[in-house]
Amino acid sequence: MLYRDDDIRKDTDINIVEALHQLFLKYNRVHTLGIVLEDIYQTPIWYWMQETYKKTPKNIAFGLHAFVHIDYSLLIYDEVLSDLKKCLDYWNKYRGDLPEFKHFYPPYSKQSNALYKACEEVGLTCLNHGGIYPMYVFHWGELSLKENVERVEQTLIENIKIGN
């Protein structure tokens, strides 16, 4: 089971992401971040990712979600390709010790042939709902820290119970 914590971005509340991360440590699962890159460098969440990867590298993973949160399926191939290249340039310039991106998690779960092709061109695998990987995607939305933690913990417990 891939647990995808989407929309990690420059203004992400690190108290919530840290509380959720503690659950992934408690149940020894991988906390996968879907990252929106714009202006994320040297924000609190950027420092949090650096420190957390250093301390718990086996329990955290990093995937590309977007540069800005747009619907990539509306773009033509050349537009997708140049956006993805911009994303990879940005990440590789600022990621420090964090690993390179391997996966792209499309915003709004919207995909297109152009998107798949462009991902392949830059060496990313486009992963989505309904694909070959069972995936639980959570967005924090308007929920409180407590509600988010309860919801994710419940999901972890249920999945572990059925052997995921």
Binding-site ranges for Zn ion (CB under 5 A): 6-7, 107
Task: List, in order, residues 6 or more apart from 124 with CB less than 8 Å away.
Answer: 64, 84, 88, 101, 102, 103, 104
Smallest gap from residue 118 Cβ to Zn ion (A): 18
Identify which of residues 6 and 49 has a Cβ nearer to Zn ion in the complex.
6
CB 16 within 8 A of CB 140: yes
Identify which of residues 5 and 6 has a Cβ nearer to Zn ion in the complex.
6
Q: Sign of dihedral through CA atoms 129, 44, 92, 21?
A: negative
Smallest gap from residue 34 Cβ to Zn ion (A): 6
Q: Is 69 left (phi over 0), alpha (psi -120 to 50) or beta?
A: beta
Smallest gap from residue 70 Cβ to Zn ion (A): 10
